[in-house]
Amino acid sequence: MLKAIAARDEAALAQLYDRYDRILFGLLMRILNNREEAEDVLQETFIQVWRKAADFDETRGRPFTWLVTLARSRAIDRLRTLASRERVAEARAREVSEEISDAATDALKSEQRGLVSDALAKLPDEQKRPIMLAYFDGLTQSEIATRLGAPLGTVKTRMRTGMSRLRELLAGQGESFGF
Amino acid sequence: MVHDDYKEMIPARALSALDVAEAQALNEHLENCAECCKELDEWQATAAALALGADPAEPSPKVRERILDDVRKDLSEPHVVPFRATPRNLWSSFGSLGAMAAAVLFTALIVGLIVLWRQNNAIRKDLEQSREFVQLVTSPGAIVTELKATDVAGRASATIAYDRSGHAILLASNLPNVPQGKAYQLWFLVDNASPMPGKTFAPDSNGHGVLKEQVPTEALDSPVFAITLEPAGGSSVPTSPIYLHSISINF
């Protein structure tokens, strides 16, 4: 599909959008916590896909990974630029513990989400929280250490260990994702 | 740091969680380490799967319309396609030297007109940009800041003007040419916070660059500006040495 987009096939872009818009918009809403900003970033992401589809290298990863990386990177940039992190984080702080457990429950809505949420549910909270704060709140390791009141070295170790565990749990599931 | 130190940083890099100095050091290492690049690709796939941990949500149908409108506008503009040699025999096609000469003259005339038109457009664009810059500089409360080049930027220089609302224009000159796939990126620095990424821009063949930007609200009081060389799509953290800066700084 990305090859067709690189060849300036408008229908292929529309097809790609229809396939991933809900997943990407859900991710952007989770990061930005603001519908208007999330829609702006979603639009920017697909315009970037239109312009840069030729840069996609299928030997380096799946289109899903590329799309999510583009969208999340833009969202984190916007979060940092707008300095709305504190605003978002305050809202998030009230719900972070529920969100993680909710993620495991709600994930049953789909097999793919279930695989990820099951994997997350298997991580100890001390490893899961730094990962979630980095991924969805855009915090750096130093900021996470401050937020959690933990030494920086401890946060680094927990994040690395958690990611390794997550990778093991998701190993071989790529095909199941269908991405 | 050694190879294994960098390798340990890659999972955090896939989460964009490295602090600026570490991210910069790792990016430099990645430029010369195929093994770590491959490792990063794999960790990014793990990180991307986390997107499924968020509840899917339905964007407004207007987003799809706006995207496809932009695409159609793009499609309606002239698109440069690679030149493909024609299999025809031009000599036999023209049939005579007179026809060849006429075709050459006609082509030269068209090329000349295009060159003139482009020069005219370039001059007009320069004038418009100059006028806009002067308007900005002379507006009430406008601030003008000079950016100085570091060793990597040679004779480059830049001036940025911005008003109270944050509307800013950067004019740069004598910038080194950018490699394929790269662009210059403006950064805003405030106190000890992470550098905030601005837009990217590419200089023309004479090293002149113009960038219209919006200074973030939190940077309006005492901004420090810096310019680095980044991938054309821009970076979330600086990945190259500083090329120009408004005061002495280090990322």
**pLDDT tens per residue across span A31-77:** 998 999 999 999 999 999 999 898 888 888 888 899 999 999 999 98
Inter-chain residue contact A167 with B236, CB threshold 8 Å: no
CA distance A78 to chain B (A): 9
Question: Three-class SS of residue B32?
Answer: coil
Taking the C-alpha atoms of residue B92 and residue B87, their distance in angstroms, rounded to an integer, is: 12
CA distance B224 to chain A (A): 14
Taking the C-alpha atoms of residue B209 and residue B158, their distance in angstroms, rounded to an integer, is: 9
Least confident of A127-131, A145-149, B193-197: B193-197
**For residue B138, what are its two tokens?**
């002379």
What mean pLDDT comes out for the span B50-79?
87
- More confident of the two residues B170 and B1: B170
What mean pLDDT comes out for the span B191-202?
86
What mean pLDDT comes out for the span B101-121?
69
The enclosing H or E element of B118 equals: helix B97-137
Is residue B145 pLDDT above 90, yes or no? no
Inter-chain residue contact A140 with B194, CB threshold 8 Å: yes
The dihedral formed by the CA atoms of B124, B127, B132 and B137, expressed in degrees to the nearest 10:
170
Taking the C-alpha atoms of residue B180 and residue A62, their distance in angstroms, rounded to an integer, is: 24
**For residue B120, what are its two tokens?**
């005219």
Tell me, what's the pLDDT at B218?
81
Q: How many CB atoms lie within 10 A of CB A2?
A: 19
Can you list the positions of beta strands (E) in B65-156? Answer: 143-149
Q: Which residues contact A148 (CB under 8 A, 6 or more apart)?
A: A129, A130, A133, A155
The dihedral formed by the CA atoms of A90, A92, A98 and A102, expressed in degrees to the nearest 10:
170
Predicted confidence band of residue A97 (pLDDT cuts 50, 70, 90): very low
Question: Three-class SS of residue A95?
Answer: coil
Tell me, what's the pLDDT at B208?
87
Is residue B28 pLDDT above 70, yes or no? yes
CA dihedral for B27, B28, B32, B33, sign (positive or negative)? negative
Question: Three-class SS of residue A111?
Answer: helix
* B234 interaction partners in chain A (CB closer than 8 Å): 77
Q: How many CB atoms lie within 10 A of CB B128?
A: 10
Is residue A177 pLDDT above 60, yes or no? no
Closest by CA to A23, choosing from B229, B129, B60, B51, is: B51
ipTM above 0.90, yes or no: no
Q: How many CB atoms lie within 10 A of CB A173?
A: 15
What one-character-per-residue DSSP string does B93-104 give? Answer: HH-SHHHHHHHH
Query: What does the DSSP 8-state code read for residue B214?
Result: E
- Which residue among B55, B66, B70 places its CB closest to the CB of A106? B55
Cα separation values, A121 from A102, A113, A124, Å:
10, 12, 8
Q: Order of strands across the sheet with B167-173?
A: B196-201, B182-189, B224-231, B242-245, B143-149, B157-162, B167-173, B209-214
Q: Which residue of B has its CA nearest to A106?
A: B55
* B15 interaction partners in chain A (CB closer than 8 Å): 131, 134-135, 159, 163
Taking the C-alpha atoms of residue B115 and residue B191, their distance in angstroms, rounded to an integer, is: 48
**Apex CA B196: angle with CA B46 and CA A39, to 5°?**
60
Q: Which residues contact B114 (CB under 8 A, 6 or more apart)?
A: none
What are the φ/ψ torsions at residue B99 (nearest 5 degrees)?
A: -65, -40
